[in-house]
Chains A and B, each alone.
Chain A
Amino acid sequence: IAGITQAPTSQILAAGRRMTLRCTQDMRHNAMYWYRQDLGLGLRLIHYSNTAGTTGKGEVPDGYSVSRANTDDFPLTLASAVPSQTSVYFCASSDSRGTGELFFGEGSRLTVL
């Protein structure tokens, strides 16, 4: 089934550890995004990528890094996790030549203790 796959689905992590959330899409969309969702704050953009090889900062980029080596993959890395990074993370993609609709993955629930 075409779409976006995120991994892991859920993870508990000790503070200070490094963590990479994986995101893969098979729709050949040029743009990809990472959002975090916290109660009462909605979806906040962390980083985005307009096309393979380029990335940009969103609303809340501090403590996170991304890479876009190819069209399909857009991993999000927490170099040294802190408790405030406990959240649900959603990866999304869109085709800028289309309607601009965002297609979301199922989310990764991360708990930092």
Chain B
Amino acid sequence: QQPVQSPQAVILREGEDAVINCSSSKALYSVHWYRQKHGEAPVFLMILLKGGEQKGHEKISASFNEKKQQSSLYLTASQLSYSGTYFCGTEKNTGGFKTIFGAGTRLFVKA
């Protein structure tokens, strides 16, 4: 089953913070996060393995709670370039051969 992302869409002003959530009904091995600009291919942001670690990428970070089968993506002091659609992808098997994506969260940052 597809992981469930929330919210479906969010509008921010430049400098504001946002949180995007991803939850699964299945036990997870890892969670991926990608960002896609309109008309382009998805681009990798980060991957989190089970163990509850938190990772960061510039002002974007994420956490993974394997017990709750949830991950959250944190965007701090958002920039115009953060606009796009964010996808979480989840894997159940070690080795990561079947990444299943959520429906996406559309983020729009305005000046």
Contact = CB atoms under 8 A, between A and B. Distances in A.
Q: Do A and B come from one complex?
A: yes
B98 A100 contact: no
A90 B47 contact: no
A104 interface: yes
A35 interface: yes
A90 B97 contact: no
Interface in A71-97: 90, 94, 96
B101 interface: yes
A59 B100 contact: yes
Interface of A: 31, 33, 35, 40-45, 48, 50, 56, 58-59, 90, 94, 96, 99-107
Interface of B: 2, 30, 32, 34, 40-44, 47, 87, 89, 91, 95-104
29 contacts: A31-B96, A33-B99, A35-B101, A41-B103, A42-B2, A42-B101, A43-B89, A43-B101, A44-B2, A44-B101, A45-B100, A45-B101, A50-B95, A50-B97, A56-B97, A59-B2, A90-B42, A94-B96, A96-B95, A96-B96, A100-B32, A100-B91, A100-B95, A100-B99, A101-B47, A102-B44, A102-B89, A102-B99, A105-B41
